[in-house]
Amino acid sequence: MSDLPDDILQMQASARSFAEKEVEPIAQDLHLADAEIPDGVLKKMCDMGIFGLMAKEDDGGLGMGNLAAAVVTEELSRSWFSVGALPARNWGLIEIISRNGTPDQKTRFLPGLISGALQAAHSGTEPEAGSDAANIKTMAVKDGDDYVLDGTKLWCTHACRADIISCFVRTSKEHKHSGISLLLIEKPRGTFPAPEFTARKLNTIGYHGMHSYQLFFDGLRVPAANLVGGVEGLAFKQLMATYEFARMQFAFRCIGLAQAAFEKARDYAGTRVQFGKTIDNFQAIRFKLADMATGIEAARQLGYMVARKLDRGERADLDAGMVKLFAADMAQKVCHEAVQIHGGMGFAVETAVNRYWRDSGLLTIGEGTSEIQREVIARRLIEGRG
C-alpha cells in the first residue's frame, strides 16, 4: 500500500496512463530511427500541465512540488527514458527564474515555460569543462545593450527544439566561480538562427528522442536584459540551488528505466522455455529478479525521502548525491541483467531491453558522474565529523 498523498497518486496514475497509451507504443520505433519525441506527445504533456507541475499556482502552475515530479518522472521514464527527461529543463529554468530572475524576465519567460509553449535547454559543458564546471571558456563581453558571445559548448541536449537556452558564460577572466554568469539565449524552435550561432548534432548509442549538440558561438549578440538576475557573476549560486532537485529527478529517470527493464525480464523469464520449463524456475534467474526488484525499491524509497526533504525546504545535497549515485549504478546493473536474462535476444537492437541497456550507458555520466558523486558525498561526510 502506497503512502503517497491522494493528489500525488492521481497524478501518478494519469502519467502512467498517458505513458502506456501514448509513449510506449512508439518508443522503440523512434529509438531505432533516432527520431525526436513527436510534437503530439509534447503537446499532450503540455495539456496535462506536466511542465508547470512544480511551479506556483500564482504563476499558473500546479504547485505540486518535488514528490509529484519524482513519480511523474518515473512513470514517463518507464515508457521511454527520453520522455522522462523532457520536462526537466523547463522545471529547472522555471526554478532559476522564479528565484533569481528580474521582474521583466519573470513576465517574459515564466508563462511559456510553465505551459510548455516555450521549451528550454541548458548549456554548461565545454570541451575542457565538464565536472570542472568553473573552467568554462566561452566569453560574453558587454557591448552596449548586448553581450557578445564567443566559444564552444558540448552536450546541449534538446538544443535544436528549444526556444530558450540557459547558457553558462564567462563575464570576467579575473575570477573563477564569480566570473561566471547565466544568459538566456532565445532562438527559433527547430533551427539555429545565424552564422554567429551554429551547431553539430552529436550521435549517441542511446538516449535518442532528445538529441544533443555541440554549439558554436562566433560573435553572437544576446540582449543584456537576458542576464539572469541582471547582475554578473551569480551563475554558480543560481545553479547550485537547483542541483539537489536535478540529481533527485535524474535518479527517478534511472528508477523508471530500471523498472521497465525488470518488468520485461520478469515477463520474458515466465515465457522462455529451456530444459522443459520456463527459465523463471531456475534459481540463477530467480535470484537475479529478486536482486533487481530490491535495488529498484531501495532507490525509490531513498528518492522519496529526498523529494520530501526538498518539499519541506530542507537541505538535501548529501542525500541527493546518494540517490543519484545509487540509482544510476543500480539501473545500469538492472538493465545489464535484463539483457542477460533475454540471452541472445537481448543483444538484438529490435528488443526493448536492448534500448534500455543502451540508454543506461548515460546514467553514471549524466548530471554528475558517479565518481564526482562519490567525491561530493565523501567530502560532506568527512566535513561533518565531530
Q: Supply the residues annotated as catalytic.
A: 367
Where residue 237 falls (left for φ over 0; alpha for ψ -120 to 50; beta otherwise) is alpha
- Sequence-separated (6 or more) residues with CB below 8 Å from residue 17: none
> Position of cell 515465457?
271
| Contact criterion met (CB below 8 Å) for 175 and 146 | no
| Distance between first and last Cα of the chain | 39
Cβ atoms of 120 and 89 closer than 8 Å: yes
**Other beta carbons within 10 Å of 35:** 13
Contact (Cβ atoms closer than 8 angstroms) between residue 167 and residue 153 = yes
